[in-house]
């Protein structure tokens, strides 16, 4: 049973967004006890030199300014840790993810918090969570050779330890809207199974 869902909306469109509608449809099927919403249509800051310096400073040695620089990142990581299911509702823009979603991942992929380095390479620290990707595209077919969003999302989620990734897709909307809706319905029904 899904208790807590972190919903991440990455579409720049707040009205008429297919990925946001898919996110709504997923939540209606999951019926979680708690939903935390992180809407990335608002500005998500890019990491910069001062952010990197704050992140590289041991937590007990950070200045007040450094702690303030990392406050949003800390809050986003806590949202991830607290959720048992994460719904990422995103369009595909120009074959990839929106820049706001990339900026969000930059904020949450932090050594010692969401992954750690070992002799064998990095190990994710957010195991035991499920992600449902709600993907929408006008022309890009999900998992086709020109889809750089879906494999990238699976990779970065695996990097932080999340390997249970399901996809609900409404792709190629501008090519065949009816077929796209049918694929989304099939994927949604699989979620309930």
For residue 64, pLDDT beyond 60 = yes
Stretch 173-192: mean pLDDT = 88
Q: What DSSP letter does each residue of 148-183 carry, written as one string?
A: -HHHHHHHHHHHTT--EEEEEEE--TTT-HHHHHHH
* pLDDT value of residue 193: 56
* pLDDT value of residue 161: 98
pTM summary value: 0.95
* pLDDT value of residue 157: 98
pLDDT-derived band at 43, boundaries 50, 70, 90: confident
Stretch 111-121: mean pLDDT = 96
The verdict on whether residue 18 carries a ligand-binding annotation is yes
**Percentage above 70 pLDDT, the chain:** 98
What the block records as the tokens of 98 is: 């929106």
Cα–Cα distances in angstroms (integers) from residue 104 to residues 25, 45, 74, in the given order: 23, 8, 12
The verdict on whether residue 131 carries a ligand-binding annotation is no
**Percentage above 90 pLDDT, the chain:** 90
Which residue stretches of 31-176 are H helix?
49-56, 64-82, 99-108, 149-159
Query: What mean pLDDT value characterizes the chain?
Result: 95
* pLDDT value of residue 160: 98
Q: Is 128 left (phi over 0), alpha (psi -120 to 50) or beta?
A: left
In whole angstroms, give the CA distance from residue 135 to residue 115: 25
How many domains does the chain contain in total? 1
For residue 183, pLDDT beyond 60 = yes
Residues 6+ apart with CB under 8 A from 102: none
Q: Which of 59, 150, 159, 61 is nearest to 114 (CA)?
A: 159
Q: What is the pLDDT of residues 14-29, one digit of tens each?
A: 999 999 999 999 999 9
CATH number of the domain within which 71 lies: 3.40.50.360
The verdict on whether residue 87 carries a ligand-binding annotation is no
In whole angstroms, give the CA distance from residue 131 to residue 175: 27
Q: What is the pLDDT of residues 137-161, one digit of tens each?
A: 999 999 999 999 999 999 999 999 9
The verdict on whether residue 17 carries a ligand-binding annotation is yes
Instruction: List the domain range (segments joined by +) for residue 185.
Output: 4-190
């Amino acid at each position: 049973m899904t208790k807590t869902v972190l919903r991440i909306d990455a579409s720049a469109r707040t009205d008429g967004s297919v990925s946001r509608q898919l996110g709504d449809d997923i939540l209606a099927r999951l019926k979680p006890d708690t939903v935390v919403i992180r809407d990335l249509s608002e500005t998500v800051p890019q990491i910069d030199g001062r952010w990197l310096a704050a992140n590289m400073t041991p937590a007990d040695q950070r200045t007040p300014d450094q702690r303030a620089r990392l406050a949003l990142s800390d809050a986003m990581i806590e949202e991830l840790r607290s959720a048992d299911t994460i719904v990422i509702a995103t369009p595909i823009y120009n074959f990839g993810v929106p820049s706001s979603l990339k900026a969000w991942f930059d904020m949450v992929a932090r050594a010692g918090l969401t992954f750690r380095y070992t002799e064998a390479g990095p190990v994710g620290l957010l195991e035991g969570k499920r992600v449902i990707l709600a993907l929408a595209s006008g022309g890009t077919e999900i998992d086709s050779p020109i889809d750089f969003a879906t494999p990238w999302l699976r990779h970065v989620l695996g990097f932080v330890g999340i390997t249970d990734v399901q996809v609900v897709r409404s792709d190629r909307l501008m090519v065949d809207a009816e077929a796209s809706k049918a694929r989304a319905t099939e994927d949604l029904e699989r979620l309930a199974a």
